Chain A
Amino acid sequence: MSATLISVFFVAGALVAVGAFAAAWRRDVTAAVATIPVMFAGAGMAFAGVARFAAAGGSHLLGQEFAVLLAIAAVALVALGLGIAGREGTR
């Protein structure tokens, strides 16, 4: 049993598509904002997978660095989105 770069890309693509679907389908804007981390997770996984599989002989850390930055950006965007969207909202 083995996992390949294609497996990583399939999971990453599915995550991005699920996040995009929820962002488009949700009527509640705040719930749509909550799907940003799902899409960023797909992007981060693709970066980490490419760096780990395709950088033979080179540095394997660049994708990990991008994944770290994407995770931090996701939490920042969720905080900002929830804060702004909640100004006019109801419980």
Chain B
Amino acid sequence: MDSLHAIGFYVSSGVLLLGGLGVALLPGRDLRGTALAVSGAGLAGAYVSLSAGFAAIVALICYLGCAAMVAGPGYRVVEGVVGPVWRQVGAIGAAALLVVLGFAAFRGDFVHASFSAGPFDARAVARLLLAHDVLATEAVAALAIVAAAGAVGAWRIRDRAR
């Protein structure tokens, strides 16, 4: 990876991690939605520096959509029923997960991989999505349709009950 791609990757990764931390820690739906949009922009930049331009465009659109939903007026606060002890156990487990993943990444230095930048090539990605791995694409499309229908149904039921 040349210096330009490396600088882009590190800057985008920093923006992405800051956005992720914002989603995790910031109060208020507006701030969390903004942080999610920032993390989407960082993710798109990281994908571009990894020569995955098509994924960058799709990720940017999807994460902006997520940010709009999180920051939108349809957001409701739902208090969880999990006790504080179990939440602390979960947080410690997440910290342990970070340690394990960091160790696994550090120990992955036996792989001597070389970066090979490629063209944008959206046509090849589309051929892969719509021809070679069409079953996975259809499964995700079905998930998206079911999720959208379920969300619309849930919102309509809530509005009718109000």
Contacts and interface: CB of A to CB of B under 8 A. Distances in A.
Contacts, number: 288
Given A3-B5, A21-B91, A44 B55 contact: yes
Interface of A: 1-32, 34-35, 37-38, 41, 44-45, 48-49, 51-56, 59-65, 67-69, 71-80, 82-91
B63 A71 contact: yes
A69 B136 contact: yes
Contacts of A8: 9, 50
A63 B43 CA distance: 14
Contact of B101 (A16, A54, A78, A84): A16
Interface of B: 1-3, 5-7, 9-10, 13, 16-17, 19-21, 23-25, 29, 32, 36, 39-40, 43, 46-47, 49-52, 54-55, 58-59, 62-63, 65-66, 69-70, 74-80, 87, 89-91, 93-95, 97-98, 101-102, 104-106, 108-109, 111, 113-118, 121, 124-125, 128-129, 133, 136-137, 140-141, 143-144, 146-148, 150-155, 157-158
Main secondary structure of the interface of B (DSSP, over half): helix
